[in-house]
Structure 1
Amino acid sequence: MIRFMDTQALAAFLEVADAASFTRAAERLHLSQPAISKRLKSLEDEIGQRLFDRVGRSVLLTDAGHSLLPYARRALQTVEDGRRALSQLSAKVSGRLSIGTSHHIGLHRLPPMLKRFVLEFPDVDLDLHFMDSEDACEAVLAGKLELGIVTLPLQPLPNLESRIVWPDPLAVIVAPSHPLAQRKRVKLEDLAKHPAVLPDEDTYTHRIIRAELEARGVEPRVRLATNYLETLKMLAAIGLGWSVLPESMIDDSVVRVPVSGFAPHRDLGWVRHTGRAVSGPARALMGLLSP
């Protein structure tokens, strides 16, 4: 009979299951691999079942592991909801706040807000994770993060509340030496004749750009793709191709190209799970982020 399950052991179980790797799970939890293994051994002893099969370098859930998975997620989410609800009973804003954000937002948008937040709420333990916006949204839905500060999804996701904080217009940019750099106006068809360096196709930003192009019957010649906008800016600046970046990133290293009928736009903001209690720290940060 299962008498008690350590939430730390359940957290280790979920991380290994999601990552399919003891190494990656240890990194995410900031633990050593032996510590992860010890927690899992304790959980397996408690339930009397093996949870993972180790086949070479692969880590696979057993039937018992598959059966436990949804209950483990629900248990940890319930515990976290309880902590958040209790944090609201006190006028003092304290406790842990787990946030996921993209590198771009973390570098270019969040610093002033976070500086103000840590000064106003010094008793909050801020747990900040840098990741792709898509992964942050998934982590919020899975209960691993309370807030995501991200490029917002193109379409609403079930159980995910979102709020726009920063409208983020995008622009086509090229190197100063690019053949299109000195043109006052460029047709989209002419732009498509040149190679492009764009965000990875799995990102919201790529989907926004692709939707704008496809609506006009244009297929870009993508030479390179990466998730990091700073890297795209560098690649465009050295002449590898045109790219699309937030207007806020444009400086003397690149040239903005006015393209007729092409004005992509994305929104940046926060997301949270609609079915979970909002902690005091999350409410405070959401208040600071309100436009």
Structure 2
Amino acid sequence: MDTQALAAFLEVADTASFSKAAERLFLSQPAVSKRIATLEAQLGRSLFDRVGRQVTLTDAGRALLPYARRALADIEDGRRALSQLSEKVEGRLSIGTSHHIGLHRLPPVLRAYTLAYPDVDLDIQFMDSEVACEAVLAGKLELGIVTLPTQPLAHLQSRLVWPDPLSVVVAPAHPLAGLKKPELADLAEHPAVLPDEATYTHRIVTAALTRHGLTPRIRLATNYLETLKMLVMIGLGWSVLPRSMLDQDLIALPIRELALERELGVVWHEKRTLSSAALALLDQLPAP
């Protein structure tokens, strides 16, 4: 059974779409369809029902799914285990990271890493931290360099790399910027622009505000912190951003009741073997 066909099967099953699976695999849609057709011919079973634009697993597809995941995970574990037998650090290393970490934290780490290990083929995928953690658990990524989950996830190991203190911020012309001693109650009187509710950062911020009895009036939410910064700068509302993003275009409000911080770090699957390339990157990451 072709592992490439199994990989295509898993992507179609996960995305419920041949076109989205093709995008993830960097293939054309006909190529993905051909791999699925080959697999169905080998098994003598139809794996997907295709009704209009909807793609759903058949009974045979649902039965195959856990075995396909296990088979590809075992093959990948074998590849990583074999890489540790060589003194040379090489091969492919798949990493998922957020745009913010990729822009503001990783460049010096990856610059030093690629100089030290030029034979490693880095596959860096940018995505939300929550998606990266799920991809590590599913075996699609070896490491995630992400905002660490607010609650432990089963089988996901993590290590803190960068403490990331947060500040409530506004534009210099915002009414809150003129207050000498802004308080939480003042925030409730003005709209906010915050990270999307599905993100770990949103959960950290709203949990802290809820503890003080404040429900923010959210005007707009987005996954990208750089976009949030722009929205604050044009006066659309207050927000909570990493202190590392502060500059002359933002005013940090000294609200004594709030001490906000998130943790940035690395995650991996506790039951999967790490390749020599992954172990070398873990060593390269700074201590907090």
TM-score, normalised to structure 2, is 0.99
Q: Matched residues in 1 for 2:166 and 2:58: separation? A: 47
1:268 matched residue in structure 2: 264
Residues 1:125 and 2:115 are matched in the alignment: no
AA paired with 1:286? L
How many residue pairs align between the two structures? 287
* Equivalent position amino acid for 1:147 in 2: L
1:157 is the counterpart of 2:153: yes
Aligned-partner Cα distance in 2 for 1:15–1:184: 54
> Which of 220, 227, 232 does residue 228 from structure 2 map onto?
232
Inter-partner Cα distance in structure 1 for 2:250 and 2:183 = 19
**Does 116-125 or 227-236 show the bigger shift?**
116-125
Q: Which residue of 1 aligns with 2:248?
A: 252
Q: Check if 1:169 corresponds to 2:165.
A: yes
User: 1:213 aligns to what?
Assistant: 209
Identity over aligned pairs, percent: 69
1:82-103 deviation per Cα after TM superposition (whole angstroms, max 9, x unaligned): 0000000000001110000000
2:99 is the counterpart of 1:103: yes
Determine the C-alpha separation between the residues in 2 that align with 1:274 and 1:290: 21
Is 1:114 the counterpart of 2:110 in the alignment? yes
Structure 1 residue 156: Cα displacement? 1.3
Matches within 5 A, 1:60-79: 60-79=56-75
> SS at 1:158's partner residue?
coil
Q: Tell me which residue corresponds to 2:55.
A: 59
Instruction: Report the alpha carbon displacement of residue 290 of structure 1 after superposing the two structures with TM.
Output: 3.7
Q: 1:79, CA displacement in angstroms?
A: 0.2
Partner of 1:22: 18
The answer to whether 1:91 aligns with 2:87 is yes
Query: Which structure 2 segments of 5+ residues have no match?
Result: none
Alignment-derived partner of residue 131 in structure 2: 135
Out of 186, 189, 192, the position equivalent to 1:190 is 186
Tell me, what secondary structure is at the counterpart of 2:175? coil
Distance 2:284 2:179 in 1: 42
Q: What is the letter of the counterpart of residue 86 of structure 1?
A: L
Q: Deviations over 1:213-263 (max 9, x none)?
A: 010110000000000000000001100000000000011111111112112
CA contact (8 A) 1:184 1:258 kept: no
The CA deviation at 1:184 is 3.0
Over residues 142-184 of structure 1, what are the superposed CA-to-partner deviations in whole Å (9 max), with x where a residue is unaligned?
Answer: 0000000000001111100000000000001101110011323
